[in-house]
Amino acid sequence: MPELPEVETVCRRLRPFVSGKTIETVDVLDAKIIRGHEPEQFVAHLLGETIIDVERRGKFILFKLTHGYLVSHLRMEGKFFPHDERVNPVKHSHVIFSFTDGSTLHYNDVRKFGTMELKTNEELFVTPPLSLLALEPFDPNVTAEALHKRLSRMNVRAIKTALLDQSIFVGLGNIYVDETLFRAGIHPTRPAASLSTVEVEAVRQEAIAVLTEAIERGGSTIRSYTNPDGATGTFQETLYVYGQTGNPCRKCGRPIEKMKLGGRGTHYCPHCQQ
Ligand SMILES: [Zn+2]
């Protein structure tokens, strides 16, 4: 599943391709992807709309249109494939946008868990799904004090589980939580409420650093996930703990261990994270 850095990478690759293009036709080959409207209404609204920009909020891709937004979530396997010409639907093309300049954008989704939904400017941030999102670690309104207060109410919950819960931070998935906690030197099973303000600040800063580095490296290419044009991210080459089970820790040389925590594979160094 793509995480925040991979979705940001998708947005950065789509932005120069679609910005300024006007939608001529939309073919919805699988109505399951379309939420909130009937597919006919969805198509009717999009015809003649120009894509002004591509933005991101959490793991949602926001296509800013002349009127309102097209909000898309890739979920497990959703991918956008830009083409400079008309291309016949290939296997798993579920939505096809054709632009007035003759180029096309195909949305493919093998698992069909991804979504597309139209929102007006007024609805965008005050209705689900975006109204439900917490702040990103990058947001200047996220302070160590505010985070500490929220984590301190979580009693016995492990810090790893608390960070994966998107109500604290949005956009920190399994890979990036493991890397953040390693860099902050905090054991994943530590009760969230036991972290000091200083430790919470370390977590916040390392989360920003991990996500920023991952975005700069085009995200992580792991398992089946690749970027829309098939390009691969390289952040996985810099991982300290995720997927490194049994390898020597790059800080202390002792083997990285793996355990299950809240149902998720959790990677850590028992020496560096106490
Ligand atoms: Zn270590």
CA of 205 relative to ligand 1 center, distance in Å: 20
Q: How far is the CA of 182 from the centre of ligand 1 (A)?
A: 8
Residue 53 tokens read as 């920009």
What residues pack around ion ligand 1 (CB closer than 5 A)? 249, 251-252, 269, 271-272
Q: How many residues does the chain have?
A: 274
Task: Give the pLDDT confidence score for residue 231 in this predicted structure.
Answer: 58
How large is the average pLDDT for residues 45-73? 97
Which candidate in 56, 59, 79, 160 is catalytic? 59
Residue 91 annotated to the active site: no
CA 73 remoteness from chain centre: 9
**Residue-wise DSSP of 2-54:** --HHHHHHHHHHHHHHHTT-BEEEEEES-GGGEESS-HHHHHHHHTT-BEEEE
Helix axes 4-18, 197-216, angle to 10 degrees: 40
Token representation of residue 43: 């198509």
Question: In angstroms, rounded to a whole number, what is the distance separating the alpha carbons of residues 80 and 96?
Answer: 10
- From 3, 6, 136, 206, active-site residue: 3
120-174 residue pLDDT tens? 999 999 999 999 888 888 888 889 998 899 888 887 689 999 999 887 888 888 9
pLDDT exceeds 50 at position 28: yes
Beta bridge partners of 26: 97
Q: Which of 9-13, 101-105, 136-140, 152-156 has the highest mean pLDDT?
A: 101-105
Beta bridge partners of 117: 35, 71
Question: What span, in angstroms and rounded, lies between the C-alpha atoms of 21 and 11?
Answer: 15
Among 76, 72, 49, residue whose Cα is nearest residue 62: 72
* Catalytic site includes residue 3: yes
**From ligand 1's centre to the CA of 269, what distance in Å?**
5
Q: How much distance in Å is there from the Cα of 270 to the middle of ligand 1?
A: 7
Residue position matching structure tokens 């209705």: 127
Give the chain's mean pLDDT: 91
Domains of the chain: 4-132 (3.20.190.10), 144-268 (1.10.8.50)
Establish whether 160 is a catalytic residue: no
Q: Which of 184, 163, 136 is nearest to 4 (CA)?
A: 136
Active site residue 2: yes
Quick check: 57 pLDDT over 90? Answer: yes
E strand intervals along 88-139: 93-99, 104-108, 115-119
Is pLDDT at 74 greater than 60 in this prediction? yes
- pTM for the whole thing? 0.86
